[in-house]
Structure 1
Amino acid sequence: MKLDCEVIRDLLPLYAEHMASPASTALVEEHLQECEACRAELEQMQLPVPVQPEPQPDAPLKGIRTALRKKRILTAAAAVLAVLCAVVLVFWMGSLSTPVTAEEAGIWLYNKKEDGANLCVLEVQGENVRLETEGGFSWGKEYITVRAMRYTFPGLHAALTKLTGSEIVSTEIAVSRTQVLAVECADGTRYYSGGQQVERFIAGENPDGTVRYGYGTEEQYGHDFKKG
């Protein structure tokens, strides 16, 4: 049996490729019916042989190009992120401010004539203190509201307001003598009209139920009006 198996296994490659003679084929098939080991050997021969792809000569170059491309993308993304962070940081620094008291603001009020108009000018003399207009300025408004703020980086804030086209805060603001100027400070709101500091009084009620205010000195309005 051992000799028969050795002979048959020598014939198996030819048999598997259908190249054996009829006599050899008959001999192999007769043996395979009885020998499990030779059948297993034949099945192993008939298994498909995996084909290894031919190595591409430029494969290493492609890998290098891919790595360089990824590196460039990451570098560009990092640069864009850094620029965005820098812009956000600059705007944040430019908006850093804190309200100040009237004493810290160093409020100074004076009158002047300009182009024939009598103006009331309010100026702040505190270090890095600016007057920030609320809601924009208009000569047609009955009253103007400003905030006395100290900017941590006044130069940067002024540059950003010019860059964005927003209203530039200043150390002074001029209104007509008929307008009321409300200056919001950390220790309360002060009102100015006609070149002097005035008080706000509750002067009555509007037709829609809202409170109507008047501005002046206690001597002007008397003591019949409740201070607002």
Structure 2
Amino acid sequence: MPSSIFFVSVLLVSILTGVLSKPYFTDRVFYLYEDTYKFANEQDRLVTYHSSTSDPVQVRTDDELHRTVIIGGQSYGIADKSVTYSTKYRVTYPNGHVYSVEDNNGMLLGYDDKGNIIMDIQAYSNGERIKQEGEEDFPPSALVSSAYPSYHVKRGMPGFLFLALGLLIFGWCSFQYQAFQDLMFRLSPQRLNYENPVPSDFYYFTSKVGGIVVMIGSIFVAFKAY
């Protein structure tokens, strides 16, 4: 009976976790500092992205080579200046400052008008971002990333959930079933050191304790998926 309850519970929790987690793992997102944005809606070439922690971001496609990112009522112009074998963008800020952004094998690097690379360094105090002298509200590379869905990414590593499920079942079997404990004993290379070895009471005790540890550990592994 305990085994039936365990496996039914695991099945139900696995299905519920999969259903609730699917949007997290499948929705493509982009980041502006600590805020995460995902697609909300699109209307008349204007795409809106929502974040649970900040105001919406809108991206307007002006033409094939120009887009406008709108954040907090401020407009940032993005121009595609790509040439053969080189993907580049020009980013124009509301204050008139102009930066360039280059795609280096999928990594976006921003440069100022003197060709100096812009380091994306974030400083916070009591949860509030502290702007450095001369720092823009948003890095040019982040604005380009928000403007083009091809730079949006999927979150998390769902493989950890499958690993956690396997560890949970392994831990339960180690804790609950003597036949499984015996099997693990027979597979252990240590038994080759003895003639006609048999599991001791201490071995069964440590198997149960180890099973509990593995089941607890599977919870931490599952959280690494997010």
Interval containing the TM-score (normalised by the shorter chain): under 0.3
Q: TM-score, normalised by structure 1?
A: 0.25
Higher alpha-carbon Rg: 1
Q: TM-score, normalised by structure 2?
A: 0.25
